[in-house]
Amino acid sequence: MPLGRAAGPTLVAAALCLVSACGGGSGTVAATPSASVAASDDSAIRPDCLNDDERSKGDPPGPLVALMGSGPKGVVFAPQLGDDACQWIEKARELAGKGYHTATFSWGDPAQDSLPAAVARLRAEGATKIVLVGASAGGGVVLQEAGGLEGVAGVVALSPVDVYGGMPGLAAYKGPLLLVTAEDDTNPPLQMVKQYADQHPGSEQFIKIPGNAHGVVLLAGDEKLNATIDAFITGNLGP
């Protein structure tokens, strides 16, 4: 199975300030969560990137889920391999400020359970329609697991790499899909992302970016791509 590629620290355009690390060398996530994983509620140890009014939920060795905002319109951000809830925190915070109910997570053990846990936490707080956004390994997870999750209204996958072999697989997801990859990325290669588009039984947008940027790095300085993703979220959840 292909692995997500390492990426250096990144400042993502406008609203994003993402420390990017897709990981590499190992196809597994550590069996124990990081020291920032919360035991059960907001009073437990929290990631340093959370503000006082933001919430963290988790039951080790499962994932830590960070939550922001409220309401029925949800967005879940899946980080790259080896990264955590802080990778997408600025984008999650930005959308929460616009009225969306957002979540992101630090990978738990087993890693395949992390996205469903984040979706369940968001739905427990009242989200009824959810867009999934993921980069690299996180992009692979949102592609492969979307069809088995309730309330998914759209999927955004940046440089998707299927590290974990999530179920029920892309063919089970028939909703809107936005695929983004760099033309010269080698993991995943362009042909693999084209195959994902072919496997998807619903409607999709497929955006190819010049160069070899990977995962969240695709968003750095690209105002058009950031606006396209925002429009996809708004179009499938409402303003």
Mean pLDDT of 211-233: 96
Q: What is the DSSP letter of 39?
A: S
The number of distinct structural domains making up the chain is: 1
Q: What is the pLDDT of residue 239?
A: 83
Mean pLDDT of 48-72: 94
Distance CA(88)–CA(86), nearest Å, equals 6
Return the CATH number at 200.
3.40.50.1820
Q: What is the pLDDT of residue 47?
A: 87
Asked, for residue 194, whether it belongs to a domain, the answer is: yes
The answer to whether residue 107 scores a pLDDT higher than 90 is yes
Asked, for residue 30, whether it belongs to a domain, the answer is: no
Q: 12 versus 153: which is more confidently predicted?
A: 153
* Percent over 70 (pLDDT), the chain: 81
Categorise residue 220: left if φ over 0, alpha if ψ from -120 to 50, beta otherwise: beta
Q: What is the pLDDT of residue 108?
A: 94
pLDDT digits (tens, 9 = 90+) for 186-213: 999 999 999 999 999 999 999 999 999 9
DSSP β-bridge partners for residue 132: 76, 155
The answer to whether residue 234 scores a pLDDT higher than 80 is yes
Q: What is the pLDDT of residue 45?
A: 64
Average pLDDT, the chain: 85
Q: What is the pLDDT of residue 165?
A: 84
Q: Is 182 helix (H, G, I), strand (E, B) or coil?
A: strand
The answer to whether residue 218 scores a pLDDT higher than 80 is yes
Asked, for residue 12, whether it belongs to a domain, the answer is: no
Strand 64-68, strand 101-106: pairing:
antiparallel
Phi, psi of 148 (to 5 degrees): -105, 5
pLDDT digits (tens, 9 = 90+) for 120-137: 999 999 999 999 999 999
Asked, for residue 104, whether it belongs to a domain, the answer is: yes
- 110-114: long-range contacts, CB 8 A cutoff, minimum separation 24: 111/28, 111/29, 111/141, 111/163, 111/164, 112/141, 112/145, 112/164, 112/165, 112/166, 112/167, 113/62, 113/63, 114/62, 114/63, 114/78, 114/141
Asked, for residue 118, whether it belongs to a domain, the answer is: yes
Asked, for residue 49, whether it belongs to a domain, the answer is: no
The parent domain of residue 63 ranges over: 55-237
pLDDT digits (tens, 9 = 90+) for 1-54: 333 444 433 333 333 433 333 333 333 232 223 333 333 454 456 888 999 999
Asked, for residue 217, whether it belongs to a domain, the answer is: yes
Asked, for residue 63, whether it belongs to a domain, the answer is: yes
As a whole number of Å, the CA-based R_g of the chain is 16
Band (229; pLDDT cuts 50, 70, 90): very high
